[in-house]
């Protein structure tokens, strides 16, 4: 592919870089040439200036020149000595190759010169005073060209008179630009040629690298591509976060900023992920090394977010990671409602199953004519159900929560698990939304406890509920296998399917419990029910703090 080729009427970026580099090389070479000419002129001024001064001094000490100038000052007619003075000036030109030699009087007037047209005119001595008797070297303009001029005073040799009677000026014209270039061409051309060749080769290599990096695109196409990328990125409804190998955010669309709660702050692009104020677990999901992340669930503020992270590479080289974020808060709420409905369905099914068994028993006793046994069984069942209801109602004044505990009691009995409400439990009537959240939390924790210890000898789930003016405190303890230390955080955030691996359930209850607690500013933690028990049988104890607006019920009791 030619770096200078056109794309849609536009030079590619590589071609533009190449042309720019060529312009830079031309400018540099021109600057080098100018500096070389200036240096050549300076050397000429030093060398030829010294020669012209020596010439001027040589002519100035000639006896005839000094005598002639003394005679002119004494009144001798100038025409009587002009020819001889001119011959001395011409001799100086022949000796040194000077451009012109002038004989100047004390007032600066040219008395004789190799260039007859300058006789009678004033000599340019750069402001120097001939009568002062000093010599020097200056640059002058004469004959339409620039010259270096050296002058030396002619000192009188009369008794009692040592003043200057004139001066000798020797001029040498600077070589023309053409002559300088012609003289410098061999050496300057070599260096300039080598510099140009190296510059062209380097520029061509840079152009090739730029062309490969930009895929041969032009600047306008690159700008359009960047704009298109930004538009696509921010149009995606799911959150997208790009993180470089240095842990800094390289891309983040609007959906991701809203999901992570960063839409109100400064632009996170360019900042380190661990400086954004996110939860450490979220930071680990965005920047973690190792295996890719698939459908990992995390709680971000009050949102349930699913993370999927993959490695990004370019040309076989890793450049970071790309993470997509899906907000599943609404889905979890719907699943919460479905979970509640399923819980009610399970409770009704258990009660239906229980009633069917008891009705079958009563029917059999009636058919056998064991009426006394029927009466005794009905009395026992009535008393047991009444005792459970009375025990719960005395401690839990909220009807929904009390009904939930009674229903869960029946479900637990069906699965061979004893469900006990701690006698110290106290709960007043709650607001409808608070009651709904508490029933969801308590129902999921009880279900987890029953699932964990079902089938074990002496399976037991203990429930304690207590409310103060600020929050409802819940503790659910079971004597199941317990939760390993390394999974005590994972059971809340690792996804909807983790529960099956941990506690044998459907895997949605615990993330839902944490979500509700987080939305109300509370918390849920899990520990071993028996810290001294190590391994199987240690059980698990879930403790929940659920803030409420008011925990004082209709009976006025806290």
Q: Given this model, what pLDDT does residue 63 score? A: 79
CA distance readout (Å), 43 to 38, 52, 133, 167, 326: 9, 14, 27, 26, 78
> What is the mean predicted confidence (pLDDT) over 221-232?
62
Helix (H, G, I), strand (E, B) or coil at 532: coil
Exposed/middle/buried for residue 22 (C-beta within 10 Å: 0-12, 13-18, 19+): middle
> What is the mean predicted confidence (pLDDT) over 253-259?
82
Read off the pLDDT band of 131 (50, 70, 90).
Answer: low
pLDDT at 36 over 90: no
pLDDT at 558 over 70: no
Q: Which of 404, 534, 550 is nearest to 476 (CA)?
A: 404
Q: What is the torsional sign of CA 120, 124, 127, 128? A: negative
pLDDT at 339 over 70: no
Q: State pLDDT tens for residues 358-413.
A: 666 666 666 777 666 666 666 565 555 656 777 788 888 998 888 888 888 878 88
Q: Which two tokens stand for residue 436?
A: 């709904």
Q: State pLDDT tens for residues 264-307.
A: 778 888 899 888 888 888 888 888 766 688 877 777 776 778 88
Q: Given this model, what pLDDT does residue 386 score? A: 58
The percentage of residues in the chain with a pLDDT greater than 70, rounded to a whole number, is: 68
- Greatest mean pLDDT among 96-100, 130-134, 428-432, 533-537 lies in 428-432
- Greatest mean pLDDT among 289-293, 418-422, 481-485 lies in 418-422
Listed range (225-229, 243-247, 446-450) with the worst mean pLDDT: 225-229
CA angle (102, 107, 108) in 5-degree steps: 30
pLDDT at 5 over 60: no
Q: Which of 278, 277, 311, 279 is nearest to 294 (CA)?
A: 311
Q: Given this model, what pLDDT does residue 501 score? A: 38
Instruction: Say if residues 52 and 172 touch (Cβ distance below 8 Å).
Output: yes
d(CA 122, CA 470): 111
> What is the mean predicted confidence (pLDDT) over 110-138?
79
> What is the mean predicted confidence (pLDDT) over 501-514?
59
Listed range (138-152, 157-171, 467-481) with the worst mean pLDDT: 157-171
Q: Given this model, what pLDDT does residue 474 score? A: 95
pLDDT at 457 over 80: yes
| Whole-number average pLDDT of the chain | 75
Q: Given this model, what pLDDT does residue 244 score? A: 87
Read off the pLDDT band of 347 (50, 70, 90).
Answer: low
CA angle (182, 184, 187) in 5-degree steps: 130
Query: Which single residue is written with the structure tokens 């789930």?
Result: 461
Read off the pLDDT band of 8 (50, 70, 90).
Answer: very low
Q: Which contiguous run of DSSP H or E holds residue 405?
A: helix 399-414
d(CA 68, CA 84): 9
> What is the mean predicted confidence (pLDDT) over 347-362?
62
pLDDT at 324 over 60: yes
Dihedral-angle region of residue 455 (phi above 0 means left; psi in -120 to 50 means alpha; beta otherwise): left
> What is the mean predicted confidence (pLDDT) over 306-334?
77
- Greatest mean pLDDT among 165-179, 195-209, 441-455, 503-517 lies in 441-455
Instruction: Say if residues 526 and 412 touch (Cβ distance below 8 Å).
Output: no
> What is the mean predicted confidence (pLDDT) over 311-326?
81
Q: Given this model, what pLDDT does residue 473 score? A: 94
pLDDT at 463 over 90: yes
pLDDT at 7 over 50: no
Q: Which two tokens stand for residue 222?
A: 């690159």
Read off the pLDDT band of 4 (50, 70, 90).
Answer: very low
Give the CA count within 13 Å in the CB-facing half-sphere of 448: 33
Q: Given this model, what pLDDT does residue 263 score? A: 78
Domains in the chain with CATH codes: 57-175 (3.30.450.20), 236-327 (3.30.450.20), 370-547 (3.30.565.10)
Q: Given this model, what pLDDT does residue 40 score? A: 77
> What is the mean predicted confidence (pLDDT) over 106-115?
82
């Amino acid at each position: 592919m030619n770096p200078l080729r056109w794309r849609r009427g536009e030079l590619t970026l590589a071609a533009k870089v190449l042309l720019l580099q060529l312009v830079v090389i031309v400018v540099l070479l021109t600057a080098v040439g100018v500096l070389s000419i200036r240096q050549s002129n300076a050397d000429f001024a030093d060398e030829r200036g010294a020669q012209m001064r020596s010439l001027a001094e040589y002519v100035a000490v000639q006896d005839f020149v000094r005598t002639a100038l003394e005679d002119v000052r004494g009144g001798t007619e100038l025409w009587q000595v002009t020819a001889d003075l001119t011959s001395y000036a011409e001799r100086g030109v022949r000796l040194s190759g000077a451009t012109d030699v002038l004989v100047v009087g004390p007032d600066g007037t040219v008395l004789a010169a190799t260039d007859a047209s300058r006789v009678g005119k004033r000599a340019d001595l750069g402001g120097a005073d001939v009568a002062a008797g000093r010599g020097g070297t200056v640059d002058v303009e004469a004959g339409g060209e620039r010259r270096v001029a050296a002058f030396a005073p002619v000192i009188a040799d009369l008794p009692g008179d040592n003043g200057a009677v004139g001066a000798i000026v020797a001029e040498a014209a600077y070589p023309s630009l053409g002559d300088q270039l012609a003289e410098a061409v061999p050496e300057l051309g070599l260096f300039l040629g080598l510099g140009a060749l190296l510059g062209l080769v380097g520029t061509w290599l840079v152009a090739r690298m730029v062309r490969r990096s930009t895929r041969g695109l032009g600047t306008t196409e690159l700008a359009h591509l960047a704009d298109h990328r930004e538009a696509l990125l921010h149009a995606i409804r799911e959150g997208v976060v790009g993180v470089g190998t240095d842990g800094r955010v390289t891309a983040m669309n609007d959906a991701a900023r809203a999901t992570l709660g960063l839409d109100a702050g400064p632009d996170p692009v360019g900042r380190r992920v661990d400086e954004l104020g996110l939860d450490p677990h979220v930071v680990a999901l965005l920047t973690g090394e190792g295996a890719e992340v698939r459908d990992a669930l995390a709680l971000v503020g009050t949102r349930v977010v699913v993370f999927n992270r993959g490695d990004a590479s370019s040309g076989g080289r890793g450049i970071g990671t790309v993470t997509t974020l899906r907000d599943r808060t609404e889905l979890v709420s719907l699943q919460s409602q479905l979970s509640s409905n399923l819980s009610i369905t399970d409770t009704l099914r258990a009660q239906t199953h229980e009633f069917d068994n008891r009705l079958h028993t009563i029917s059999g006793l009636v058919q056998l004519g064991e009426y006394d046994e029927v009466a005794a069984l009905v009395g026992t069942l009535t008393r047991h159900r009444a005792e459970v209801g009375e025990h719960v109602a005395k401690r839990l004044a909220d009807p929904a929560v009390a009904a939930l505990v009674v229903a869960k009691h029946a479900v637990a009995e069906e699965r061979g698990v004893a469900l006990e409400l701690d006698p110290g439990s106290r709960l007043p009537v709650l607001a409808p939304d608070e009651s709904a959240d508490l029933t969801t939390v308590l129902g999921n924790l009880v279900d987890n406890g029953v699932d964990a210890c079902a089938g074990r000898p002496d399976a037991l789930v203990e429930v304690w509920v207590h409310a103060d003016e600020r929050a409802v405190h819940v503790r659910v303890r079971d004597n199941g296998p317990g939760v390993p230390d390394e999974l005590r955080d994972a059971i809340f955030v690792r996804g909807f399917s983790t529960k099956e691996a941990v506690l044998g359930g459907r895997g949605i209850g615990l993330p839902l419990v944490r979500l509700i607690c987080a939305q109300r500013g509370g918390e849920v933690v899990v520990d071993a029910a028996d810290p001294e028990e190590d391994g199987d049988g240690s059980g698990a104890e879930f403790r929940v703090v659920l803030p409420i607006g008011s925990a004082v019920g209709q009976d006025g009791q806290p």
